[in-house]
Copies of this chain bind each other. A is one copy, B any other.
Amino acid sequence: MEGRPVPQPQGLDDLRVLVQQVLDEQQRRHREDLAPLGPQMASLTAPIDDLLRGGKRLRAAFCYWGYRAAGGPHGEGIVRLATAMEVFQAAALLHDDVMDRSDTRRGMPSAHRRLGGLHASEGWDGDSERFGDAGAILAGDLCLNWTDELFATSGLPSEELARGRRTFDLMRTQLMGGQYLDVLESVRPWEQLDTSERVDRARTVIRFKSAKYTIEQPLLIGAQSRGVDPQTDAALSAYGLALGEAFQLRDDLLGVFGDPAQTGKPAGDDLREGKRTVLVALALDRSTAADLDRFNTLFGREDLTGAEVDWLRDWCVRTGAVERVEQLIDEGAGRARAALDPLRLDPDGTRVLGELIEVCVARSA
């Protein structure tokens, strides 16, 4: 990033600019690597470029500010390392959308739909959906490879990279496991479980499919790279897990109540998908027999009408489930604050990690 003005980030917005600069540079290099294969490669890289242009950059922020909080200086290396977290997220989204058969992502057609659309509009042989899936699987594979490429070539000193690598490797293994757990929990029997079993299962999925790789592990990768003592490491882990769970519980509320204009997803998406969240587990806990009947008819149906979505939303509210989830979010934010407060870390890093608590739990998209 030489030759450009690179102010030391004071917060999330200026880091976001730096992350995008790294991504643009990296993607330019990757297009060069693919150039010998011909111009058709552009149809594979374009959806990746677009996906990498959006997002809140939370994962990069936790990694970057973890490093800074641990006393690390601002520099190109840590920005590049932090950016690797965003490329990993893109990989996860690309494959998740194939597995979930999602039509949209951030208000745009998902990559597999876009590639399927290309196949259809070109009138190519074979099945458009199958082509789209194959392209999106490969796009996700590229992003997985590029995650590690950016990590390893970030330019951080090799002893720092070596310190962060174990958590980096664990993050990648455990996210794939968490995704598998999510798929499993969506198909394994749920009816005969009691509420606490349902909540436990949903929380385990949240932990491994979201909390760890969104917050805890990027934060630890940053902090461990710089070096932290075991007590600080444990406190940052506690902050990350508590906040990560709260983040995902907010996501679950947005999946039901979010404004499509802000979330980029259709209204009530999680209800149509039949996502077995903590919210739904808690609503079922206080349902009447009539509620249960109606729920069983509606939940997971892709063709829900607006009125049916409204009924399910109202049911979440009047059973008290929304309130209970909001409480869990508050508790998570509180635990994150309690873990952070006693730490004696770099003041700028500590300040931004504090701000990130609000960003994660009070968001609308």
Chain B residues near A133 (CB, 8 Å)?
A: 98-99, 133
Residues 1 to 48 of chain A near chain B (Cβ within 8 Å): 30, 33-34, 36-38, 40-41, 44
As for how many copies of this chain the complex holds, the number is 2
Find A144's partner among B99, B144, B153, B184 (CB 8 Å cutoff).
B144
Smallest distance from the beta carbon of A220 to chain B beta carbons, Å? 15
Find A37's partner among B40, B137, B138, B181 (CB 8 Å cutoff).
B181
Smallest distance from the beta carbon of A276 to chain B beta carbons, Å? 10
Cβ of A178 and Cβ of B208 under 8 Å apart?
no
Given A99-B133, A126-B186, A165-B152, A138:B176 Cβ within 8 A? yes
Residue from A91, A133, A137, A152 having most chain B Cβ neighbours under 10 A: A137
Given A40-B184, A152-B152, A34:B173 Cβ within 8 A? yes
Cβ of A178 and Cβ of B137 under 8 Å apart?
no
A169-B87 Cα distance, complex, nearest whole Å: 15
Find A124's partner among B119, B152, B188 (CB 8 Å cutoff).
B188
Chain B residues near A41 (CB, 8 Å)?
A: 177, 180-181
Residues 96 to 137 of chain A near chain B (Cβ within 8 Å): 98-99, 101, 119, 122, 124-126, 130-131, 133-135, 137
A280-B148 Cα distance, complex, nearest whole Å: 39
Cβ of B186 and Cβ of A137 under 8 Å apart?
no
Chain B residues near A183 (CB, 8 Å)?
A: 131, 134-135, 138
Smallest distance from the beta carbon of A74 to chain B beta carbons, Å? 24
Cβ of B34 and Cβ of A95 under 8 Å apart?
no
Asked whether any CB of chain B lies closer than 8 Å to the CB of A214, the reply is: no
In the complex, what residue of chain B is closest to A128 when comparing beta carbons? B187
In the complex, what residue of chain B is closest to A145 when comparing beta carbons? B172
Given A44-B177, A174-B37, A165:B184 Cβ within 8 A? no
Asked whether any CB of chain B lies closer than 8 Å to the CB of A304, the reply is: no
Asked whether any CB of chain B lies closer than 8 Å to the CB of A142, the reply is: yes
Given A30-B173, A95-B141, A144-B141, A126:B38 Cβ within 8 A? no
Given A119-B187, A137-B95, A170:B124 Cβ within 8 A? no
Given A131-B183, A153-B165, A165-B152, A141:B140 Cβ within 8 A? yes
Cβ of B37 and Cβ of A125 under 8 Å apart?
no
Asked whether any CB of chain B lies closer than 8 Å to the CB of A323, the reply is: no
A158-B158 Cα distance, complex, nearest whole Å: 8
Cβ of B135 and Cβ of A176 under 8 Å apart?
no
Given A38-B181, A44-B180, A184-B40, A145:B173 Cβ within 8 A? yes
Given A152-B165, A176-B142, A137:B98 Cβ within 8 A? yes
Smallest distance from the beta carbon of A82 to chain B beta carbons, Å? 18
Residues 275 to 289 of chain A near chain B (Cβ within 8 Å): none
Cβ of B137 and Cβ of A174 under 8 Å apart?
no
Cβ of A37 and Cβ of B208 under 8 Å apart?
yes
Chain B residues near A358 (CB, 8 Å)?
A: none
Cβ of A176 and Cβ of B145 under 8 Å apart?
yes
Asked whether any CB of chain B lies closer than 8 Å to the CB of A195, the reply is: no
Asked whether any CB of chain B lies closer than 8 Å to the CB of A350, the reply is: no
Asked whether any CB of chain B lies closer than 8 Å to the CB of A311, the reply is: no
Can you list 7 A-B contacts (CB < 8 A)? A36-B208, A37-B174, A37-B178, A131-B187, A134-B183, A138-B177, A152-B165
Q: Which 6 A-B pairs have the closest CB atoms?
A: A145-B172, A124-B187, A148-B148, A99-B134, A37-B177, A34-B177
